[in-house]
Structures are given as C-alpha cells and as structure tokens.
Structure 1
Amino acid sequence: MSGLLRTAGAGSGRTAVIALWVSQALLTLVFLAAGTAKLVGAEPMVEAFDQIGAGQWLRYFVGCLELLGVVGLLVPRLVGLAALGLVSLMVGAVITNLVIDAFSLLAVILLLLGTVVAWGRRDRTKALLPRQQ
C-alpha cells in the first residue's frame, strides 16, 4: 500500500485518487468517441466544421489530435502531457464555439476534466523534463 493511503487522512486521499482515475477514464471514452466520429465523417461533425468555416481538413486534424490524446491517456508516463494537449484543444473549442455563437457546455466540462487530470498528473509531466544540474 502506498504511503499516501496509509496516512491519517487516507479517506480523502483515496477519494482524490479515485476521482482522478474516473476523470481520466471519462476523458478517454469521450475523446475516443469524438475523435473517431470526426475521422469517419459523422454528419454532425461535418456540419459543425462547415459552420466553423475553416474547411474539413481541420476536422481530420482535430480528430487525429484527439485520438493521439487518447493514446497518451493510456500510457501512464504520458498522461499529464496528453491531458495538457486535450486541454489546449478544448480551449480552442470553447473559443471557437463562442465566436460562432454556439456555446458548448460539453466543451467546458471536458476542459475542466482535462485540467483536473493534467494537474493531478503534473508530477509525471515534470518527470519528462530534462534534469537541471
């Protein structure tokens, strides 16, 4: 058992760990579905990217980035970095939705969940940086 779970406040620490895993799993499932829908050309995705006006190349690009994020969420060493990438995508999605006057609560929720995972896995992200002498 880890030192975190053996401390006096083990209940709250364990709850936080479980919440982090649940958030990570939700992100994985949602971005797997969304990325796949974009790449296979689901009609709502095609229409959404038509409304943006940037062209369908952007749909393919975002779909690929989302699926890369899913792969990163499944690799323990890359979870924090993948969450940061997905947060960046969601910042872009929220801004785009506000500009085209199509607010998306789902995009905001995914942005918040991604932020929770990125913060919770920040030590793994820091471990990817080169050591300073």
Structure 2
Amino acid sequence: MAIMAIVIEILLAVAFLFSGFTKVAGVKMQVDSFNKLGLPQWFRVLTGLLQLVGVAGLVVGFWTTSWSAWAAIGIGFIMVCAVIAHLRAKDSFGQVVPALVLAILAIVLAILQGSDLGDFPN
C-alpha cells in the first residue's frame, strides 16, 4: 500500500472515530449542528454510526485494501452530503471547508485504492 494512502487512511480513521462517537454520544456541538442544518436528531445518530462503520472498514483496510476502498467511498458519500447540507443551510465557506476537505481526502483514497474494489471482501 502506498504511503500516501496509509497517511490518508489514518487521518480519515482518526477524524471519523472522533466525529462518529461525538454524534452517537449526542455531544452538544453535534446536536446544535444538526439542528442548525435542519436535520432530525435520529439522522445524527445514524450518521455517527455510519461513520464508525467507515472507521472499521478503514482499519480492516490496513490488511485488506478493498475494505478501505469501499469505506472511503462510503465516507466520501457522507461528506459530499454534508457539504450539500452546509450549502443548503447557507453556512459560511469556513463552515463548509472541513466537510469539503474530508470529502476530498476520502475521494482521493478511493481513487488510490480503486483497483482493489473488485476484491471485496477479501
């Protein structure tokens, strides 16, 4: 596995481990954010759980890259949706940037490991 892919995988895993747990735990910042975006709280929990599933896929992907490739696609989809939600809420560019950067990182990882997508689940 290329060093760039490993670095991106680690960054995404750490970011989404934190983000997923805070969403599932109902940390005030996450609750407020979903309220501001006009999204229901059950969707916050679902999003957090999906992020944690993505983290699990990234971790398994250290040994089997097809897992991290699919996890990157899932995380990328979540973050593209997050960018859209922030834009619909008319958030400032600074508020959109974190979701945009994470979406780009996930897409880059999916591209780097795209040749392994067909090997899933092995």
Q: Deviations over 1:10-64 (max 9, x none)?
A: xxxxxx9211110110000000000001011111100011112221001000000
The correspondence of residues 36-75 of structure 1 with structure 2, limited to 5 A, is 36-75=21-60
Task: Supply the distance in 2 between the matched residues of 1:38 and 1:72 (Cα, whole angstroms).
Answer: 18
Larger deviation, residues 31-40 vs 117-126? 117-126
Please tell me the residue identity of whatever aligns with 1:56. Answer: Q
Which of 1 and 2 has greater Rg?
1
Task: Supply the distance in 2 between the matched residues of 1:94 and 1:54 (Cα, whole angstroms).
Answer: 14
- Percent identical among aligned pairs is 33
Match of 2:20 among 35, 42, 48: 35
Task: Supply the distance in 2 between the matched residues of 1:36 and 1:105 (Cα, whole angstroms).
Answer: 21
- 8 Å contact kept, 1:79–1:124: no
1:115 is aligned to 107
Higher RCO (CA-CA < 8 Å; seq separation 6+): 2
Q: Secondary structure of 1:46's match?
A: helix
- Structure 2, unaligned runs of 5 or more: none
2:80 is aligned to 91
In the TM superposition, structure 1's runs of 4+ consecutive aligned residues that sit over 2 Å from their partners are none
1:124: how far off?
A: 1.9
Please tell me the residue identity of whatever aligns with 2:97. Answer: L
1:123: how far off?
A: 1.9
TM-score when scaled to structure 2? Answer: 0.88
Task: Supply the distance in 1 between the matched residues of 2:31 and 2:51 (Cα, whole angstroms).
Answer: 16
1:127: how far off?
A: 1.7
- Structure 1, unaligned runs of 5 or more: 1-15
1:128: how far off?
A: 2.6
Task: Supply the distance in 1 between the matched residues of 2:56 and 2:28 (Cα, whole angstroms).
Answer: 25
Task: Supply the distance in 1 between the matched residues of 2:120 and 2:13 (Cα, whole angstroms).
Answer: 21
